[in-house]
Amino acid sequence: MNLKRVRLDLPEGYNYGLSIFSGWSQLVPFAIDAENRALSRVQVLSSGKIVRATTREGDGGAVTIDVECGFELDIEDLEEVRGVFEIILRLNDDFSPLYDLLARYPEFSWVEEAGAGRSIRCPTVFEDVVKTICTTNASWGLTKGIVRRLCERLGEHFSGELHAFPTPEALASTTEDILRAEVKSGYRSPFLLELGRSVVGGDLDVESWRGSPFDSAALKKEMLVVKGVGDYAANNILHLLGRHDFLALDSWMRKRYAELHNDGEPASDREIEDHYAPFGEWRGLVMNLDMSKEYILKRIQ
């Protein structure tokens, strides 16, 4: 196995330890090593080489990426890995407008102090959409199981039990029976299959969503055409794209809001939306931060 190391500079104030523990890191082909604060991922490069890349905190506000591969790695391969992790870690997202906004709200002073706000995402929108569909109407345990079986059944094999995330082509070429019987994605199976086939057939270009010139409402309308993507899923995908002007309300968020802001009584979605409306284009992220404050502060202690 060949091993190469890449260095990745982090923006000032970037909280690497906090970012890598956000939700997606628990879903393969990501893997988290809590003790060593390391995030790894199996990735197929455009050269066809399959690598496992592992980030760890380095010196002077940087992380190192150790890249393992059964083949010799060249400069282009390593640059691609660097680019993949720039996307995953959201290194180019600018959170200073959020911190400026929250400076007016003392109850959120902890956000900038903690360097909070970033959560990891997948290198492709396709993977983000598939994973989001897998979270719908499912416990976290079920989501993890579906995604793991999806990679094991359809992803390129790296070594041992490690697989990459399936390509749209791999998803498109499977069958609903396999998804139901082996991946156990249940009634989501035809949605996943249709997504893969629409992407491969060119009817749906989910990667264009990342740089879309449209506003979030227009983009959301486009997302809702995808079977299996409803209101929650579309809002979550917008969040992953770096747009935070819709609230990704799921049952946990509603329950948490009731505990924190409504004396334990259920609040309507409209009430929750009104509560975070003052935060404008950042309201979705502010809600996420508000709901997760306890967890985040515990994590950075």
- CB-side neighbour CA atoms (13 Å) of 224: 10
Binding string, residues 162-181; x marks residues near DNA by CB under 7 A: ------------------x-
**In whole angstroms, how close is the CB of 238 to DNA at the nearest point?**
12
| Cβ proximity to DNA, 91 vs 142, nearer residue | 142
Structure tokens belonging to residue 31: 């893997």
Among 1, 104, 202, 251, which residue sits at the site for DNA (rule: CB under 7 A)?
251
In whole angstroms, give the CA distance from residue 228 to residue 130: 10
Q: How far is CA 253 from CA 40, 196, 248, 262, 269, in A?
A: 28, 29, 8, 13, 10
Asked if 87 touches DNA (CB under 7 A), the answer is no
Q: For DNA, which stretch binds (CB under 7 A), given 6-14, 23-31, 83-91, 221-229?
A: 221-229
| Cβ proximity to DNA, 186 vs 278, nearer residue | 186
Among 60, 160, 187, 202, which residue sits at the site for DNA (rule: CB under 7 A)?
187
In whole angstroms, give the CA distance from residue 126 to residue 98: 27
Is residue 47 within 8 Å of 76, Cβ to Cβ? yes
Among 78, 233, 240, 287, which residue sits at the site for DNA (rule: CB under 7 A)?
233
Tokens 């994605």 belong to 185
**In whole angstroms, how close is the CB of 152 to DNA at the nearest point?**
13
Asked if 21 touches DNA (CB under 7 A), the answer is no
Among 226, 240, 289, 296, which residue sits at the site for DNA (rule: CB under 7 A)?
226
Is residue 51 within 8 Å of 45, Cβ to Cβ? yes
Buried b (16+ CB within 10 A) or exposed e, 197-220: bbbbeeebebeebeeeeeebeebb
In whole angstroms, give the CA distance from residue 203 to residue 270: 34
Asked if 16 touches DNA (CB under 7 A), the answer is no
Asked if 264 touches DNA (CB under 7 A), the answer is no
Q: For DNA, which stretch binds (CB under 7 A), given 42-50, 95-103, 138-146, 161-169?
A: 138-146
Among 11, 23, 58, 145, which residue sits at the site for DNA (rule: CB under 7 A)?
145
Among 250, 262, 293, 300, which residue sits at the site for DNA (rule: CB under 7 A)?
250
Among 214, 255, 260, 271, which residue sits at the site for DNA (rule: CB under 7 A)?
255
Among 37, 153, 184, 261, which residue sits at the site for DNA (rule: CB under 7 A)?
184
Spell out the residues 6+ positions from residue 247 whose beta carbon is closer than 8 angstroms to its own: 235, 253, 269, 272, 273, 276, 283, 284, 287
| Cβ proximity to DNA, 254 vs 299, nearer residue | 254
3-state secondary structure of 127: helix
List residues binding DNA (CB under 7 A).
136-139, 141-142, 145, 180, 184-187, 191, 224, 226-234, 250-252, 255
